[in-house]
Amino acid sequence: MTQSSHPAFQPAASHFINGAYVEDTAGEKIDVIYPHTGEVIATLHAATPAIVDAALAAAKDAQVAWAQLSGTERGRVLRRAADLMRERNHDLSVIETHDTGKPMSETLVADAASGADALEYFGGLAGTLTGEHIPVAGGDFVYTRREPLGVCVGIGAWNYPIQIASWKAAPALACGNAMVFKPSEMTPLSALKLAEILIEAGAPKGLFNVVQGYGQVGASLVTDPRVDKVSLTGSVPTGRKVYAAAAEGIRHVTMELGGKSPILVFDDADLESAVSAAINGNFYSTGQICSNGTRVFVQDAVYDRFVARVAERMENAVIGDPMKDATTVGPMVSDRQRQIVQGYITKGTEEGARLVKGGKVIEGAGFYIEPTLFADVTDEMTIAREEIFGPVMSVLRFTTEEEGIARANATDFGLAAGVFTSDLTRAHRVAAAFEAGTCYINAYNLTPVEAPFGGSKLSGVGRENSKAAIEHYSQIKTVYVGMNPTEAAF
């Protein structure tokens, strides 16, 4: 790997605490690598215990006064932040493309733009948060207060860095919490920009802090007694560890974890739409999306046509420099992730799946691999059971609705599921039968901020986005009001 000077990407310091950039070079080095070239574009340091302590202290301090503002006042800050994020969308997208390798054709529309949506939506919601009034016997009554949890910790994955940071920060802050966010060590840059934007928008110092680091920094945040809630986006193995660690302090959790989601394509479906959904749901972000529909079950009568059409359409992928407008498939985030994907492709072939297209590493400095299509995949093959997190589509054949549903659900994951059919009642029947948190009918992988997003089974607990997220960043206090003299037995 070559070291080059990229002042545009090197932040003023590694961490953002109490309204300012902070450095502690004693922390382990984190090289930020541009996946297109393998170059180091910035070098940061993992948080030391002193940095973690400073961030949590700042958050704890800032939270009290923030919670005392009216919801409308808090919302105003978030809505200003949304505007700033939109104004800076291009620059933020350039950072995101360099951090993740995802093409500009994606980052311009799906990353900071989605983060801005979350800030705007929860900014609007903040002023509407209320408790309720509950009449009870004898003229007494109860009212509830919706209160913040306190200090929330957010921990991010590397595929959607600023989106993940915003999806966690926006509802947390709207409800009156403070946050310490740890981005993935692979993609540490853009969360710092969110921290800058929030300060510029008028958030008090210390309300949203960013600390960098590997897993152990995340682990130290999760068990700190000052922390009331942990929201993780990551893999199931990490989720297990974080959930268990949070349980020790009975902390609230949101777990947005991995998946192996099914898409069922019935023979009456609009086939071109289903092909588009399968392409988006497997190759967008070079396949690095948690809710990807990586098991595409296609009914007998349209199976061959579907496979042929996907292969044909894959010819149109523009693979290469993610900064070029026309590029639709960028590199993988890292060489390691690419090796993992390569390993799965080898297993797929060894276990008897039919490699229809792709499958090869693209030689060069960047971490490129061809979008890959496997057909004749069966349920017990490794590529049909494990999350690959790369551009590998598995197509499986099915015959009846009942069989399709049973096989779609035969997984420990439960993040997303999709059905393509023109039969209205079947579409709803299948959606109802899916064991997944987020289901789609004749669409796939759309995540508007107004809709709840999250998983069932091993894919997670809690929901992000929508009004549902409020439940996961606030708690209800019950206040019983006695209107009568209190009596006792003696």
Ligand X SMILES: NC(=O)c1ccc[n+]([C@@H]2O[C@H](COP(=O)([O-])OP(=O)(O)OC[C@H]3O[C@@H](n4cnc5c(N)ncnc54)[C@H](O)[C@@H]3O)[C@@H](O)[C@H]2O)c1
Could you tell me how many residues of this chain bind ligand X (CB under 6 A)? 29
Q: Which residue, 141 or 214, is less far from ligand X as judged by CB?
A: 214
Q: Would you say 235 or 378 has its CB closer to ligand X?
A: 235
256 is an active site residue: yes
Question: Which position among 75, 115, 171, 234 is part of the footprint of ligand X (CB under 6 A)?
Answer: 234
For ligand X, the nearest residue by Cβ is 218
CB 482 within 8 A of CB 140: yes
**Which is closer to ligand X, CB of 258 or CB of 359?**
258
Q: Which long-range contacts (CB under 8 A, 24 or more apart) does 377-380 make?
A: 377/295, 377/348, 377/353, 378/352, 378/353, 379/407, 379/410
Residue 159 Cβ vs ligand X, minimum distance, rounded to whole Å: 5
Site for ligand X in 428-457 (CB under 6 A): 455
157 binds ligand X (CB under 6 A): yes
> From the list 215, 317, 365, 452, which residue makes contact with ligand X (rule: CB under 6 A)?
215
Q: Which one, 99 or 401, has the nearer CB to ligand X?
A: 99
Indicate which single residue of 39, 99, 120, 256 sits in contact with ligand X (rule: CB under 6 A).
256
181 interacts with ligand X by CB under 6 A: no
Q: Shortest distance, CB of residue 162 to ligand X, whole angstroms?
A: 13
Q: How far is the CB of 292 from ligand X (least distance, A)?
A: 8
Handedness of CA 406, 407, 413, 415 (dihedral sign): negative
**Which of 242, 265, 269, 356 lies at the binding interface for ligand X (CB under 6 A)?**
242
What DSSP character marks residue 459?
A: G
Considering the candidates 256, 370, 387, 401, report the single residue annotated as catalytic. 256
The three-state secondary structure class of 475 is strand
Q: How many CB atoms lie within 10 A of CB 316?
A: 8
Nearer to ligand X, 102 or 309 (CB): 102
Distance CA 470, CA 327 (A): 37
Residue 310 interacts with ligand X (CB under 6 A): yes or no: no
Nearer to ligand X, 235 or 280 (CB): 235
Among the listed residues 420, 46, 351, 469, the one whose alpha carbon sits nearest the alpha carbon of residue 217? 46
What one-character-per-residue DSSP string does 218-266 give?
HHHHHT-TT--EEEEES-HHHHHHHHHHHHHTT-EEEEE-----EEEE-
Residue selected from 16, 121, 389, 444 as contacting ligand X according to rule CB under 6 A: 389
Q: DSSP state, 7?
A: T
Q: What are phi and psi of 442, to 5 degrees?
A: 50, 40
Counting contacts by CB under 6 A, is residue 219 touching ligand X?
yes
Q: Are 207 and 173 in contact (CB under 8 A)?
A: yes
- Asked if 185 is part of the footprint of ligand X (rule: CB under 6 A), the reply reads yes
- Residue 303: DSSP 8-state: H
Q: Which stretch binds ligand X (CB under 6 A): 90-98, 123-131, 214-222, 308-316?
A: 214-222
Nearest Cα residue to 34 out of 11, 59, 2: 2
Span interacting with ligand X, options 21-29, 181-189, 312-320, 373-381, rule CB under 6 A:
181-189
Instruction: Check binding of 387 to ligand X (CB under 6 A).
Output: yes
DSSP 438: E
Name the residue type at position 72. T
* 214 counts as binding ligand X under rule CB under 6 A: yes
Please answer whether residues 157 and 47 qualify as being in contact, where contact means their C-beta atoms are separated by less than 8 angstroms.
no
Give the torsion sign (CA, 11, 17, 18, 23): negative
Q: Tell me: does residue 421 bind ligand X (CB under 6 A).
A: no
Q: Is 184 in the site for ligand X (CB under 6 A)?
A: yes
Q: Is 469 in the site for ligand X (CB under 6 A)?
A: no
CA proximity to 224, closest of 236, 211, 205: 211
DSSP single-letter state for residue 325: T
- Helical residues (DSSP H) of 390-450, grouped into ranges: 401-409, 424-433
Stretch near ligand X under the rule CB under 6 A, chosen from 198-206, 231-239, 320-328, 391-399: 231-239
Instruction: Determine the length of the chain.
Output: 490
Binding letters toward ligand X, positions 399-418, x by CB under 6 A: ----------------x---
Question: By CB under 6 A, is residue 367 in contact with ligand X?
Answer: no
* Sequence-ordered list of residues with C-beta below 8 angstroms from that of 404, at least 6 positions apart, any chain: 264, 266, 297, 299, 398, 430
Among 6, 76, 88, 241, binds ligand X (CB under 6 A): 241
Pick the stretch among 12-20, 69-77, 83-91, 156-164 that binds ligand X (CB under 6 A).
156-164
By CB under 6 A, name the binding residues for ligand X.
155-159, 182, 184-185, 214-215, 218-219, 222, 233-235, 238, 241-242, 256-259, 290, 387, 389, 415, 455, 460
Active site residues: 256
